[in-house]
Amino acid sequence: MHAKYKLFEEVKERSDFMVKQLSEGDYRSQDVYVNNLLHLINTYSEFTKFMTDSEFIAWTQINHPIALIEVAMTGRIIMAVQNFFLIPKKGCI
């Protein structure tokens, strides 16, 4: 399970970086912002392979519950921004 969590952590680090970049970056172009948002959406989709594994979720809830909460909140952030920009949820890129 630890090896799988390491992969999960790598995806989380990339998505956390993109959330920080989107929230704190100095964007002069909406196109660049939306492009970065699409990269975040694509990265976030990599969590599917972890979230569909019930054993992994159960293990992570015990050992790293905050990480799961943060991933869920990233999903909510994406949904809110998609709603604002009216970006389709599937087939973005």
**Mean of pLDDT over the chain:** 91
Contacts of residue 14, Cβ cutoff 8 Å, sequence gap at least 6: 43
pLDDT tier at 64 (50, 70, 90 boundaries)? very high
Tell me the mean pLDDT in the region 53-73. Answer: 96
CA distance 83 to 93: 17
Alpha carbon of residue 44 to chain centroid: 3
Instruction: Provide the 3-class DSSP secondary structure of residue 25.
Output: coil
Other beta carbons within 10 angstroms of residue 93's beta carbon come to 7
CA distance 51 to 47: 6
Between 87 and 22, name the one with better pLDDT.
22
Q: Answer for the pair 59, 1: CB distance below 8 angstroms, yes or no.
A: yes
Tell me the mean pLDDT in the region 33-50. Answer: 94
Between 93 and 83, name the one with better pLDDT.
83
pLDDT tier at 84 (50, 70, 90 boundaries)? confident
User: In the predicted model, is pLDDT for residue 35 greater than 70?
Assistant: yes
Q: Answer for the pair 51, 57: CB distance below 8 angstroms, yes or no.
A: yes
